[in-house]
Structures are given as structure tokens and as C-alpha cells.
Structure 1
Amino acid sequence: MKFSSSLKFNAVADWWDEYIAYDALKKYIYQLEKQQAGHEHLLLHDIESNEHSSLLRQGDASNTDSLFIPLLDRELKKIVLFYEHQEKELLDDLEELEKDVALQEEIGLRGGEHYQDFDEEDEEDDDSISRSPVGTRRRRKSSSAARGQRLPGGPSGLPDASPILRRQSISSNEDDGPGLETSYASLQPPKRGTLSKLQTKFTNMRDSITSSASATVEHTIWTSQSDYAYDTRLLYKRRITNLYISFTNLKSYVEINYSGFRKIIKKYDKVTYSELKDRYLHEVVEVALPFTQIAKDRVNDALNHLHDLYAKCVSRGDKNLARQQLRLHQRENIAWERDTVWRQMIGRERRGEGDTIDTAGATLVQEPEPAIVDIPTPVGKFKITKRKILKVLAAFLFAIMLNVQVVESEEANRCFAILTLCTFLWATEAIPLFVTSMFVPLLLVLCRVIRDNDDVRMSRTDATKYVFSIMFSPTIMLLIGGFTISSALSKTNIDRVLITRVLNLAGTRPSTVLLAFMGVSCFASMWISNVAAPTLCFTLIRPILRTLPPKSSFGPCLILAIALAANIGGQSSPISSPQNLIALQYMDPPLDWGRWFIVALPVSAISILIIWLFLLVSYHPARSPDGEGDIEIKPIRPTREAFTLKQYWVTFVCIVTIGLWCIAHQIEEYVGDMGVIAIIPIVAFFSTNVLKKDDFEHFMWTIVFLAMGGIALGKGVVSSGLLDVLDVAIRDLVTGVSLYGVVLILSPVVLVVSTFISHTIASVLLVPIAQAVGKSLPGHHENLLIFITGLICSTGMGMPVSGFPNQTAATQENELGEAYLTNVDFLKNGVPASIIATLVVSTVGFILMRVIGL
């Protein structure tokens, strides 16, 4: 949780204005960052005091220190003054409480002489009520509260008023002996209590038996079993508890503000390259009153005094029980006082219920979908939404396709109906993409489309075993191994360390910085997936975006460049995207990593360079918005931390695993398949606590199930005989067309499809077609066409919805909440970039594939 959120969640609501103004200070830091980056005459606006100061370009950290330290001093002074007032008030309350406890001990049980029940005859006697305000009815309430029933006023039924027990008048006369007159006021207005005569006699009899049984025991006000002693202890319990909660709130106030100073100065040092944190904390903050050891000892001593008072007045001398009960009351108070909205928001984030974009390309919308029509029914309104209409259309389409003979074989016809249904659901996203994938094995078994090697329809039992056996293939294990490597690199911060060190070499020229970020985004997508890589890069460019002049074209250009490069990176390694793994699944024999890199790396590098040149021409990112000179980019500061033993271990395992993948065919006799090699990082990282159970649960399992459904559908197309039907039709279409002619025909088809639907879904639908086309050509070039199809699936990036990197880029906003990119940016620049990358695959990629023997 970010500290600003943690501050709101843990702060005492009534003291909110007295905490460190963390958000305001963070805004000041970003203003100082702009000033340090060279933007002159920036205006720093003090929101709280409406003061303005002109920040002129100074050039070093000492000058920014002179501007930021007064802001810290002002916050510290505010906190000190508030703490002094609260501490004095609470210590005075504690002193008064101790005096009242001592006085109550002195009075003892004599104070209960006028503590009596009301008979029915006393109900109209106002004088009697005024003499004894603690009536039977109120005592019954106290008993219910002691049993844990919730009463108005706060947690555990604690009333808000204070003090709890107030001594009003005490008079003593030596001549009258022990005749001591005492009156106590209740927290709540006095209420008349009533008891029947039978109840009154029963109460007197009980007290008589109790006093007789313990005649030899000397009772005090804190141990007596009388009603008066019970209510007195209960009221003192409430008073001690309220004061204890106030002191713990004050202690928490000090701890939260110290964390606030430490975190805000750490952020300041990181942004402005200063070294203020240790000096200011030790020399200024820690010598201020709330943060000194003397002040902390006073609060701790007060809490210990309250433990002792609670043990004396309530828990019969048991200090451990007193400590436990006071802490329980503290927890109840925290649960009562904290903002319910924050608790719900944090709970939703922990359960993953926030509005997010699914890694498979589907938007997870938590808010109800708007209704097109509301139809009233006896059980409520039935809402007709767009998705419900699409679901009905999908069912209607499936029913028609099952009953219309499109192809000759029954199994192939049913498989074609399943293929049509899944294509419709994937294209429209009427239901989540991975749920559609789960439909595949269900429909394959129920419709009995699976045939054995003798072209005999399998029984549903045998078909179930077959479908599930092929769904968890070595390719799926390879995908999980890729997730493991990605998670380990991210968790140990290796990705950030390497990336920031590379970007630090880029300098301050906009064109160089742009190319560096594109290269880093592409390279990161190879290993930590094209889902996580752009997110990481967008985090790293935040300091650059904050220091840019208003309306600078460099911001949109940089964001779009990162997204496009991440898409290109999705084709660079077998584990960088699911479409590559699906392509490997259909290759026979599968391509090893070494030959994949021979083709994919040059193709990716050439695509990145050409797209970089195109963006420079399109955006002119180096040009200043006012047309006077070029902008200067703030350099990325590399992390200072040295590599740890854990980081070296992760690096070693990743290098060994990738090396084995590259020579998988040469060692196939020993490892069997690349999927077995993928187990190495899983065992190495989870057995050494680099990764934990929670990391495994956070893997992108929607992608895994999406790939499994795609594999099952492909096998169903083959087993049902539908592929043979398609093979005949495709053979007629490509007759007389050369291999390269087929490539030129197939490439734009794949590009268009992958632009408008998920890249993974495009590969699921098009890779089997490419395989069928390849088999129909002389020379068995199916692996080549599959490879080209898999690579081009990653180049569809002309729309905001074309792949996860584009979706993430489209959500990036500036400080005013305005999106950096519009649909025009994607159409004007994303579409040409897609065409460029596709041409590179179909030309350079084709030549390299022929060189390696495909």
C-alpha cells in the first residue's frame, strides 16, 4: 500500500488536519524536480497557506534543499504544537483519574449506602430519583454491556462522554459516625428503574447469602459482589479504557508522522539527487518533542499506569488479563473508527476485484453493464444488455451450425460448429476469453467429435482422457516456466537494476533516450513478458514525463514507442508471448531456441530501428513546444544497490535454463522436451524461497487456460477430420502459387485479424490454417508458415485494443488526468508501425527462415 493511502487508513479521523501533509509535500517535490531539470520561473503554489514563491533555476541540490527544508520545518512545528497540547491534556486526565481512584478506595463500600432499588411506590417520588440516579434499569444495561452486547456510542457499547464517574458531593460529620452522603452522576440521563417486590426480596436474599458465605473475607470496592461495587468498577473500566485508547492514538500519531518524514525525504532525495534524509531526521526530527525518547517514555509510562489501574479496578490484580483486555478494546476502537470505504477498497484490491484489464485482452468491468432495455417481471426488473444479446446470438448460431450440414463428415461438421462458436465468443468477448477456452473440452466431449487413429468416433470416456492429456502439454509447462522466470526477475528487482543501468547510458538527447527505451522495452518483453515489461517501463518514465514542458510531443511519442517495442518484443523469444508457444506446439519438429533467435532477433532489431525513425519524423519529439530550441531529458538515475547473493542465484538459474532451451534438440535424449527444462527454475526458485506460494497463485493463469483451450481446439480440428476438409479447400486456392506468394497472401490476413482481436486468440485461430496451407505446398513448409504467422500475430498494434501493451499505453494520463494518447495517435502511427513490422517479417524473416532450413 502506498504511504498516502496507509496514512489515511491509519490516521485518527478527528486529527486528520494535524498529520504531516504528505500529498502536498510530494507535489512540492515534483515542482522542485521540474525546476532542477531546467524549467525556469516555475510557480510553487502552497495549497494550505495560499502562499506563492517563484522557483528559479539554480542547478544543484543545495538550492532545492533551501526551498524544501522550510516546508518540512513548518510541518514539524505543526506536529509539535499539536502533540504538546494533546499530551498535557491526557496527562492531566490521567492525574485526575488516579486521584479519583484513590478517593474511591478511601470511600469504599460506604458510598453505596444510598444506592437502592426503586419500588413501584417510589416511581412517582422525584426526590428519591434525585437521590439515587443509578437505578435498577440502568444496572441491567450495565450488565448487558458487560456481556459484550453493543450499546450506542462506540465499540463495545462504550459511551462517548467523559469522565465516566464523577464525584459530586461528599460530606462527612464525625458526630454522625459513618453517615457519609455521596451522589454519582451517570453518563446518560437518569432513567427510572422498576422491580417487583418479589425481585427486590430475591436481590436482598442473594446479597445476604453472599455476605454470609464470605464473612471472613474483607471486601473492598474492587472485589465486592454488591451491585454498587459492580457498577462502580464498570464505570471506571470505561473511563480507563477511553483514556488508554487516547494514549495509544497519540503514540500511533507519533509513529505515523515519523514514517511520513522518513518517506517523504527519501522520495525527495531520490528525485532531486540530494542526501537530506539522514541529516534532517537525526538533527531535526528526532530532537523534536514528540520524537524524543523522553516523550516516548512518558507515553509508555502512562500506558503502564493505566494497565495497573485497570488491574486494580477491574481485573482483580491480574495485570496480564488487564493488558489483554485493554488491547482488545484498542482493536475494537480501531475497527470502529477506521473509514469503512478504505477498508472496502483495500479488500477489493487484495481480492483482485479492482477495475483491471485482463492479461488475455479482456476488460474486467466490475460496475454493472448498462441496460439497453429493462423488462419488469414479478421478481424484479430483467435487464437486457449488449453482452446478454451476444450470448443469445452465440447460442443461436451454435444451434444452427449443428443442424446445418456444412461439411460431409458428422464429426467434422460438429467441430466446425464448435470452431464457429468459439471464434464468435472470442471476437465479441461476450464472456471472458479464458472461459470460452474452457468451453472447448466440454463441447468436444459432449458432441463426440474426437476420433481415434482408425477414424472411429471415441466414446465420451476415452475422449475425455484424450482431451485432458493433450491440454497439459510440454508447451504449457514451458509457459509456466516463463512465468516463473518473469516473477523471479521482478521480485528480486533484477529487471529494474539492469534496465536503469542501461538507460543511464542513454544521456539526455530525446532521440537517444527514445531509442534506448524502445530497446529496453523490447528486451524486457523477451523475458518478463510483454504484459509486465511495458508496465515497468511506464513506471520508469514518470520522472521524465513530470519534467517535460507542457504540451511537449515527447511524452506521447515515448509512451507509444514503449508499447510498440513491447509488441515487437513479444515475437523475440519463445516465452515472451503465448502466441509463440502456440506456434511451437504446432511445429513438427518444434523449433529450438537457437534457431528461433537466429530469425527473431534480427527481425525485431530491424523493426525497432525503422519504427524509431518513423516516430522521429512523425512526432519531432526533440522540438520544444514553443519552437525555440530542443528539449533536454532528465537522465534516469541507476539504482545504487549492489547485487545480492539471491540476485546472483536467480541470474545463474535463468542463464542455465535459457542455455538449455537453446540446445534442447541436442540434449533431447537426456531431457526429453523443453517443457521438462522449464521445471528447473520452478524447483530452483520455490525451493529456495526466492518465490513463495503467493507468487505462484499470482501467475497469469487466464493465459494458461486460454492456451490450453487453444491447443485442445487445434487437436479437435485435426482429430475430427475438419483439417482434411480445409486442406483440400486450401490446396485448390494455392495451386500454382509459389511459397513466397503464399507468404504475401497470408501476412496481411494475419495482420488484420491480430489488430482487432487478442494476439493469442489470433494465433489460436490462424496457426492451424497456416499449418494446413503449409502441408498443401510441395516441400512441406508448414513450419515456415507457422513461424511467420506466430511472429506477425505480435505485430498487430494499430488500435488501442491491439494487445496488452497498447491497452496499458492508452490508460497513461498526465497530472491533469488527461490521456497522453488518443485513437488518432494509434491510427496515425500504430497502423504504419504494424505494416512496417509485418513487411520486415515477410521479407527479412522469410530469408532467415530459409537460411536455417525451414
Structure 2
Amino acid sequence: MLAPGDVPAASPLQPEPVSASTGAGPRRHWLRPLLAVAGVAAVALVAAFWAEGPVASRAVLIGGVCLVLWLTEVVPPFVPSLLLLGATPVLLGPLDADYRLPAVLAWGADPVLVLFLGGFTLEVAAMRHGLDASVAGHVVRLSRGRPRLLLLLVMGGVAFLSMWMSNVAAAAMMLAALRPILQAAPAGAALRPALLLGVALGANFGGMATPVGSGPNALAVSAASAYSRVTFAEWMALALPLTALMLALGFGLVLLRFRLGGRVELPAQAPRPLSRSGRAVLGVSAACVVAWLSEPLHGVPAPVVALGATVLLFGGGLLEREDLGKLDWSTLLLIAGGISLGRLMEHSGLVAGALAGADLGGWPVAAQLAGLVVVAAVLSALMSNTGTAALLIPLALQLQPAASTSILVAMGCSFGIPFVISTPPNAMAAGEGLDSSELLRVGIPLMLAGCLLVSLTGATVLHLFGLP
């Protein structure tokens, strides 16, 4: 369910998370801490000599340090959130009652957190009862040994899983299902790198399609609520066709790079039928998705539906008490911290001050949005995509205050995919033997194409569905 750059907490139901920097080699282990130290030093200088007034100075220090920690990923992603929630009332509370602890905690108490809690609960239930492994196994069997069809189904299958669960877990399940095929492939065969690229691309793009697909999506929905409520269906009206198109482009580029043909010998494994509890989880998940998509008809907000699904899964015995600890609380805290950072930047006037001297008013609106999308993609390719969204969305809304603006920035964050260090699925594919040059050959054209598509058509499509 996480998008590129975000790594969930480990649990017995999934493999140990892979850092976005995995695959970069020991020589780069010093790079991120060095960048963090340099970033904190730069923030301290800005807070001391650039910020005007004690509120702005302390807000720069708090927000800047948290951003540096998020973007460089030198500490677990929830640590900057806790730092932000603790440091703001301590440093700013004595100056203004709006920064005291009750007010600061209220910043992060956003309904989108309940929506993600429901998504994480569905993920844990699916993994506990084998729904994810069943999807991955069916993908392999449905190909009937045809390499091109296998590649297409792998990309579609892992993207579907990533729409509702961690992209790390989705990639891991698909790689586990493909491992016998990958191991049997002759040295130098095109099938192995093609499938590994397919897994990485599917996991990266799948998170765009739903509001619960990634951290940037959550920040975008929360920020957009100040202008217009974004329903599940409205998000998917833009994002699902975009995801499908990016997967189709990725599929075409992989086929151009690797001439797949012939037949593949599939592992001789009989399909495992879902247990009764597995079918029950499938029913709850399907009902939840239908309720999310039909929100305009019945009017029940998506977070309330997610809360109801959580109650059903735990109350119905499909999840046990110990499963509560397997939910991805780290990401929930990360999202709450990102939302709170945006509120801090708004309340303290930092965003308005940063843009006051920039002469961007004469730029065409389309050029401003395109620049934001490209910057979001480039930063996300090198750093945490949720940290990037937390930085850029408040800036973007000052330039173009509209619900569609935050959504377009979140889409841009999902295109930062060309490097091994860009996303955990990329690092996992590299760990299985995919060369980093193959990711570059496919990832850079896809990043550019995605940014161009969103910049040219995104705002128009969202306006058609009633989002200003």
C-alpha cells in the first residue's frame, strides 16, 4: 500500500522491509547521514539569519529538521513525526496558544488516518489468510507458460495488490511466486530481467490508483479537503486510468527491450483453495471496496466504511488481538506527521513568506503545475516520496489553491522510479539480479511520460469530475 520510498514496519506475515537504499552498496552508507548533517546545519543557519521573528525562526527549525530527517531517511519514518508533535508545543507553545499540545495534536487527527487504518487492517487480514499469495499464484498459472502474457499478468497482479497493500509486500509475494521460474531461467535469458522489471513497475505504479495506495495520496486528500472533499471514486477516476496507461507504457518498453518468446515451464503446484476464513475476508474486502466506490450514492464517508471493515474483521474473529500489533502504525504516524507539518507551515506563515519574493505570478498556471509535478518526481526518485509530498503540497497550494493541485503533486511523487534507490520494489528487483541500467532505460522515459501526462491532462480530468 505504500508508494515508492516508504517502508512499512516488519511483521511475521511479510519479509523484512527493504530499505530504499538497498542495492547501493556499502560505499554509500555514509552518504545519507552526511546529507542529514549538512541539511540540519543549513536549516539552523536559515532559522538564525533568514527567518523574521521568533515564531518563524522556531518553525523553520522544527519543520526543517523534520523534513531533512524524512527526506534523507536516516531514522525510522515515524521519528520525525514524534519530534514535530513534541517540539512544536515546547518551542512555540509559550509564544502562541495555537501551538500548544491540544491544538498541535488536533492537526494530525485527520479522517484520512482512519481510512488508512482500514486499508492496513484489510492488508493484514489478506496476508493472514493467504489472499495475497493466492492472487500471485493465480497470476502465474493463468499465463499458461506464455512469456508475454506472464509479464502482463505479473505487472497487473502486483499493481492490483499494491492498490490495497504495501508495495513491498506485493512485490515480495509476486517474487516468491515467480522464484521457481526465475531460478530455472538460463543465464542471460531475457525472461528474468523482464519479469523483475515488471514486478518493480507494477508495484511502483499500483499505489497511484487508490487514496489508500500511498502516503503522498493521504497527504493530498487531507490537503484537498480545505477546498473540496475528494471521494474514493473521484480519486480513481483520474488515477486508475493513469495507472493502467503507465502500466501499458511500461509493458511496451519492457517488450521493446527484451524480445520475449517461446514457452515457459511453470512450477507444478496445485492451486490451494481459500479457506472458509479466507473467503470471509475476501467478502469483507470486496464489500469495503464497493462501499468506497459507491460513496456518492449512499453518502457514507470512506473513513467510516474503513472503520466498519476494521470492526468486522476484529469483531468477527478473522483477526486476533495480536494482529493489532501487525498494523503499519509507523506509516500512520508518518502520515500524521506530514499533515501536521503542512499545518505548521501554514499557521506560521512560512509558505507565504517563502513565496513572497518569488516572481511566479506571471507564469502560466499550466507551467506552474508542470514544474511542481516534475520537481515532485525528481525529489521522490532520490528521497522519501512522503517527505517530498509534505514539503511540496503546502507550497503548491499557495501557488494554486485548489483541490486538484495537491492531487497532481501526489501523482508526481509516484513517478520517481528510475533508480535502484528510488523505491523498495526497485531494490528488491535489484537484489534478485536486475541490473540498475535496465531500471534507468525504462524508468526515465516512464517518469518523463508520466509527468507530461499529468501536467497536460490531470487538472482538466479532475475538473470534469467536479474537483476545482
TM-score, with length taken from structure 2: 0.88
SS in 1 for 2:360: helix
2:409 aligned with 1:789, yes or no? yes
Q: How far has the Cα of 1:434 moved from its partner?
A: 2.1
Q: How far has the Cα of 1:755 moved from its partner?
A: 0.5
> Does structure 2 retain, via aligned residues, the 8 Å contact 1:774–1:783?
no
Residue 196 of structure 2 aligns with an amino acid whose one-letter code is: I
Residue 751 of structure 1 aligns with an amino acid whose one-letter code is: A
Counterpart position of 2:187:
550
Deviations 1:267-311 (A, max 9, x none): xxxxxxxxxxxxxxxxxxxxxxxxxxxxxxxxxxxxxxxxxxxxx
1:435 is aligned, of 59, 79, 86, to: 79
- Count how many residue pairs are aligned between Structure 1 and Structure 2: 453
1:405 is aligned, of 50, 53, 61, to: 50
1:697 is aligned, of 325, 339, 342, to: 325
> Does structure 2 retain, via aligned residues, the 8 Å contact 1:441–1:467?
yes
Return the alpha-carbon distance in structure 2 between the equivalents of residues 835 and 389 of structure 1: 30
Q: How far has the Cα of 1:665 moved from its partner?
A: 5.2
Q: How far has the Cα of 1:459 moved from its partner?
A: 6.8
1:852 is aligned, of 428, 453, 465, to: 465
> Does structure 2 retain, via aligned residues, the 8 Å contact 1:810–1:821?
yes
Return the alpha-carbon distance in structure 1 between the equivalents of residues 298 and 463 of structure 2: 24
2:285 aligned with 1:654, yes or no? yes
Return the alpha-carbon distance in structure 1 between the equivalents of residues 273 and 257 of structure 2: 40
Return the alpha-carbon distance in structure 1 between the equivalents of residues 248 and 31 of structure 2: 42
Counterpart position of 1:485:
122
> Does structure 2 retain, via aligned residues, the 8 Å contact 1:482–1:678?
yes
2:237 aligned with 1:598, yes or no? yes
Question: Which structure carries more strand by proportion?
Answer: 1
Q: How far has the Cα of 1:393 moved from its partner?
A: 4.6
Map 1:754-833; keep pairs closer than 5 Å.
Answer: 754-775=380-401, 782-812=402-432, 820-833=433-446
> Does structure 1 retain, via aligned residues, the 8 Å contact 2:277–2:318?
yes
Map 1:607-622; keep pairs closer than 5 Å.
Answer: 607-620=246-259, 622=260
Deviations 1:97-130 (A, max 9, x none): xxxxxxxxxxxxxxxxxxxxxxxxxxxxxxxxxx
TM-score, with length taken from structure 1: 0.50
Counterpart position of 1:516:
153
Return the alpha-carbon distance in structure 2 between the equivalents of residues 563 and 416 of structure 1: 36
- Work out the percentage of aligned pairs sharing the same amino acid: 26
Map 1:142-157; keep pairs closer than 5 Å.
Answer: none
Residue 246 of structure 2 aligns with an amino acid whose one-letter code is: S
Return the alpha-carbon distance in structure 2 between the equivalents of residues 790 and 609 of structure 1: 21
Q: How far has the Cα of 1:752 moved from its partner?
A: 0.6
Q: How far has the Cα of 1:467 moved from its partner?
A: 1.1
Higher relative contact order (CA 8 A, sep 6+): 2
Unaligned runs of 5+ in 1: 1-348, 364-368, 373-384, 451-455, 623-629, 776-781, 813-819
Return the alpha-carbon distance in structure 1 between the equivalents of residues 267 and 240 of structure 2: 26
SS in 2 for 1:678: helix
> Alpha carbons of 1:449 and 1:764: their partners in 2 closer, same or farther (altered >3 Å)?
farther
Deviations 1:688-721 (A, max 9, x none): 2211223221222221211111111111111112
Q: How far has the Cα of 1:836 moved from its partner?
A: 2.5
> Alpha carbons of 1:746 and 1:637: their partners in 2 closer, same or farther (altered >3 Å)?
farther
2:304 aligned with 1:676, yes or no? yes
Counterpart position of 1:718:
346
> Alpha carbons of 1:536 and 1:718: their partners in 2 closer, same or farther (altered >3 Å)?
same
2:217 aligned with 1:561, yes or no? no
> Does structure 2 retain, via aligned residues, the 8 Å contact 1:578–1:760?
yes
Return the alpha-carbon distance in structure 2 between the equivalents of residues 604 and 550 of structure 1: 32
Counterpart position of 1:706:
334
> Does structure 2 retain, via aligned residues, the 8 Å contact 1:409–1:721?
no
Return the alpha-carbon distance in structure 2 between the equivalents of residues 351 and 612 of structure 1: 33
2:111 aligned with 1:474, yes or no? yes
Counterpart position of 1:533:
170
Q: How far has the Cα of 1:727 moved from its partner?
A: 5.2
Question: Which structure carries more helix by proportion?
Answer: 2
Residue 421 of structure 1 aligns with an amino acid whose one-letter code is: V
SS in 1 for 2:295: coil
Based on CA coordinates, which of the two structures has the bigger radius of gyration? Answer: 1
> Alpha carbons of 1:845 and 1:635: their partners in 2 closer, same or farther (altered >3 Å)?
farther
> Does structure 1 retain, via aligned residues, the 8 Å contact 2:77–2:331?
no
Map 1:11-410; keep pairs closer than 5 Å.
Answer: 356-357=17-18, 361=20, 393=38, 396-406=41-51, 408-410=52-54
Return the alpha-carbon distance in structure 2 between the equivalents of residues 518 and 394 of structure 1: 37
> Does structure 1 retain, via aligned residues, the 8 Å contact 2:72–2:384?
no
Return the alpha-carbon distance in structure 2 between the equivalents of residues 466 and 582 of structure 1: 19
Residue 445 of structure 1 aligns with an amino acid whose one-letter code is: P
Q: How far has the Cα of 1:674 moved from its partner?
A: 2.8
Return the alpha-carbon distance in structure 2 between the equivalents of residues 746 and 563 of structure 1: 25
Counterpart position of 2:7:
none
Q: How far has the Cα of 1:541 moved from its partner?
A: 0.6
> Alpha carbons of 1:491 and 1:660: their partners in 2 closer, same or farther (altered >3 Å)?
same
> Alpha carbons of 1:439 and 1:639: their partners in 2 closer, same or farther (altered >3 Å)?
farther
Residue 808 of structure 1 aligns with an amino acid whose one-letter code is: M
> Alpha carbons of 1:536 and 1:472: their partners in 2 closer, same or farther (altered >3 Å)?
same
For the aligned residues, what is the CA RMSD?
3.0
Return the alpha-carbon distance in structure 2 between the equivalents of residues 350 and 517 of structure 1: 24
SS in 2 for 1:733: coil
Map 1:495-506; keep pairs closer than 5 Å.
Answer: 495-506=132-143
Deviations 1:512-552 (A, max 9, x none): 21111111111111112322111111111112112212211
SS in 2 for 1:480: helix
SS in 1 for 2:415: coil
> Alpha carbons of 1:687 and 1:351: their partners in 2 closer, same or farther (altered >3 Å)?
closer
Q: How far has the Cα of 1:639 moved from its partner?
A: 5.1
Counterpart position of 1:742:
368
> Alpha carbons of 1:638 and 1:498: their partners in 2 closer, same or farther (altered >3 Å)?
farther
